[in-house]
A and B are shown apart, each in its own frame.
Chain A
Amino acid sequence: MTDDLAHFRAEARAWLSANVPTHGAPLEGPESRAFVLDWQRLMYDGGWAGLTWPKDYGGRDLSVDEQIIWFEEYARAGAPSTHNASFVGVNHAGPTLIACASAEQKAFHLPKILKGEAIWCQGFSEPGSGSDLASLRCRGRIKGDEIVIEGQKTWSSYANIADYQELLIRTDPASERHHGLSWVICPMDLPGIDVRPIATMAGPAKFCEVFYDNVRLPIDAVVGGIGNGWKTAMATLGFERGTASLALQISLADRAEQLARDCDDPMLAATIADLRADAAALRAMSYSFAAACAKGMPGAEGSLIRLYFAELAQRVTAAAVDLYGVGSPRLSGDHGWAYDYLDAYSETIAGGTAEIQRNIIGERVLGLPRGRS
């Protein structure tokens, strides 16, 4: 490692040790919004937000090496999980805007994300369109310089506390499948938007249904061009699957080590040693992938990492439940392993199910013939 990077690491470590919040992050509601925005602002003011984002929009234009070092130190310091209400904005809405949005859109939205002034949510899935995203029906009628939205979205995490939504709608009523879609920036305070949180088995009601009744958006809310929504959405999913979880991928090895320190059962220790090895492999794969796509869009190989991470996160959290047992303070509460264990069930569903990731790996990484309709 160069002296510069060593210096960067020392700076990151010092800043984190002085600034990481001592109390846990609230998991839902207005408190969770305030917490993540405050923390994001603190990182921004310290110069630690948007490390690889362009300087023009509040970033620092650093390389993926610094990004990785920052996340390593972030995990080491036990900083708040990035899997929170700021996840969408920082990790895939922001990167989608950088890749596809107009200069005006970038100038308005990107600094707000980095400064902790806006929370984003995702509006892709619908009750009838889950894995089959291209079948979506939420409609956007173009009337003059407005888009009028009617329909429903679901599984929109944190929609109840979000300011903006990356919303995928059908703007060409005659279109089918992935044609005629548009990716729009939808402010969540517009008249006609109704949000209903759904209680999940992990506890907090962070999933939401969103209903749109005659919601009027200016046409310049479209990102990447009207009718090009599938392409923009694929950029979003590319980030979501490829690089969005980098911090979480890196932190998994630390979490496995935490279990190892508490384990005195030889059989469980063997399991944890396996998990630690897998977590190390995941880090290596993640670093290689992040370096490869540093200057471009993440490719289909992101699905390899997304899937590996999702399944490993489930195994690590399950081992924790085995290790500590019901009634242990390590399991209970908003920041206990039981929450993480149950929450990890969503890892193989969000951003494309494990089955969809396997289809992508089969068809686009291995080049196998397409099997499904």
Chain B
Amino acid sequence: MKFEPDDNQGTILDGLEQMIASLRIEPPKHPTTVAFSAELDAELGASGFLDIAREEEFTLLDAALVVERAARLPLTTEAASSALVGPLLEADAFQRPLALVRGSALAPARFLPQARALLVDADDALRLIAVDPARVEPVESLFAYPYGRLSSLDGLEVKTLDPALLPAVRRRWRLAIAVEAAGLMRAAIDTVVEHVTNRRQFGRPLGSFQAVQHRLATATMAMEATKWLAFRAAWSDDEGDCATAAAHAQDAIPTLTYDLHQFCGAMGLTLEFDLHLWSYRLKALLGEMGGSSAQAQHAAVHTWPRAA
């Protein structure tokens, strides 16, 4: 077993760090609940980092490393669907940002206001829709990602894909949830650790209180577990692994986000403090694909067919 990045992965991560450094990415200057950056998203798309799972010499795990790093940035981009679900689609026809939706093509989807393509898991059919931004109605949401829904499909190019792809799309979608959550958790924990190190009450740093240390330790365990489950799932691309990773991530999110906000006090409830840039996204991921109970059921059915 190897837990250190190999040479390829080291090269990718170094390259990504260089690009991030050159872009001088900073949290938004004005308080906002949705910190999507079209510029950063376009840069990431143009850089090729989101396409590596299509390349012979790279793997799905390499792509997962990119998504985890991108999720730690204070600005939101659509990296996960493009890098992990996108490679299932033919490269010629692929356009990003890519939005994903289950059930109705008219249901609200993350990133739809910016997306150029919408992949619809319509239970027994798979469709790829070329998105016309004029057809997208923004959906009010307090959960950091831009959400929108299509007003109608009239006149839009709708391509019907092979339904045999459906299980893979769902599997990669679950993987995308887990990988992105791992990155968000780490950035959020880093922010809180810095806060409780600097903030003093009762004459000492908040972080010196064991009640605070213990719960941050628990949050760190949840983050580490999410990360390694997600990387394992990216390595195996296995149905059960992907569902397990997503279930674990979504299961960990509520306690983790409450605790992280808790230790930043009322400051952590404001838009003037950066924690929300990651915690909001975690909250949105909490319910994706039916939430943790749906992923756990899927993992159980896959792993022990008698559970079906």
Chain A interface (Cβ < 8 Å from any Cβ of B)? 125, 129-132, 135, 154-155, 198-203, 207, 265, 267-268, 314, 318, 321-322, 325-327, 332-333, 338-339, 342, 345-346, 348-350, 353-355, 358, 372-373
Contacts and interface: CB of A to CB of B under 8 A. Distances in A.
B147 A327 contact: yes
Given A200-B269, A201-B271, A338 B287 contact: no
B204 interface: yes
Interface string B266-303: 10011110001000100110110001010001000000
A200 B202 contact: no
B147 to A, nearest CB: 6
Contact of A326 (B147, B261, B265, B293): B147
A220 B153 CA distance: 70
Interface stretch (B7-15, B137-145, B172-180): B137-145
Nearest to B293: A267
Contacts of A155: 266
Contact of B254 (A268, A318, A348, A354): A318
Contacts of A358: 211
Interface of B: 31, 33, 107-108, 139-143, 147, 149, 201-204, 209, 211-212, 254, 258, 261-262, 265-266, 269-272, 276, 280, 283-284, 286-287, 291, 293, 297
B140 A201 contact: no
In this complex, the member of B108, B141, B258, B284 whose beta carbon has the largest number of chain A beta carbons within 10 angstroms is B258
B284 to A, nearest CB: 7
B266 A265 contact: no
Contacts of B258: 314, 345, 348
Given A132-B201, A327-B107, A355-B212, A198 B142 contact: no
A365 B209 CA distance: 21
Nearest to A157: B266
A202 B201 contact: no
Contacts of B203: 132, 373
Contact of A199 (B139, B265, B272, B291): B272
Given A199-B271, A265-B293, A327-B147, A346 B266 contact: yes
Contacts of B107: 327
A131 B271 CA distance: 21
B270 to A, nearest CB: 5
B286 A202 contact: no
A345 B212 contact: no
Contacts of B142: 201-203, 338-339, 342
Contacts of B270: 198-201, 207
B46 to A, nearest CB: 29
B216 to A, nearest CB: 12
Nearest to B107: A327
A148 to B, nearest CB: 27
Contacts of B276: 201
18 contacts: A125-B266, A199-B270, A201-B276, A203-B142, A267-B293, A267-B297, A268-B293, A321-B283, A322-B291, A326-B141, A327-B139, A327-B149, A345-B258, A346-B269, A349-B262, A353-B265, A355-B212, A372-B202
Considering residues B108, B209, B270, B297, which has the most beta carbons from chain A within 10 angstroms of its beta carbon? B270
Q: Which of A129, A132, A314 has the most CB of B within 10 A?
A: A132
Nearest to A355: B211
A155 B271 CA distance: 13
Contact of B269 (A202, A268, A318): A202
B31 A326 contact: no
A264 to B, nearest CB: 13
A131 B254 contact: no
B255 to A, nearest CB: 10
Nearest to B262: A348
Nearest to A329: B140
A353 B264 CA distance: 11
A135 B272 CA distance: 24
A141 to B, nearest CB: 26
A349 to B, nearest CB: 5
B287 A321 contact: yes
Contacts of A345: 258, 261, 269
A314 B254 CA distance: 9
Contact of B201 (A131, A268, A314, A342): A131
A192 to B, nearest CB: 24
A130 B206 CA distance: 11
Contact of A131 (B143, B202, B261): B202
Nearest to A268: B293
A314 to B, nearest CB: 6
Nearest to B287: A325
A349 B139 CA distance: 30
A347 B107 CA distance: 32
B139 A372 contact: no
B284 A326 contact: yes
B298 to A, nearest CB: 12
Contacts of B293: 265, 267-268
A201 B108 CA distance: 21
Nearest to B31: A199
Contacts of A333: 140
B265 A349 contact: yes
Given A198-B270, A199-B270, A373-B203, 17 more contacts: A129-B201, A132-B203, A135-B201, A155-B266, A200-B271, A201-B142, A267-B293, A268-B293, A318-B254, A325-B287, A326-B147, A332-B141, A338-B141, A342-B142, A348-B258, A349-B266, A355-B211
Q: Which 7 A-B pairs have the closest CB atoms?
A: A327-B108, A132-B201, A267-B293, A155-B266, A199-B271, A199-B31, A332-B140
A339 B209 CA distance: 31
Contacts of B291: 322
A322 B293 CA distance: 10
Contacts of A130: 201, 265-266
Contact of A353 (B140, B262, B286, B297): B262
A318 B292 CA distance: 13
Nearest to B284: A326
A338 to B, nearest CB: 5
A211 B271 CA distance: 20
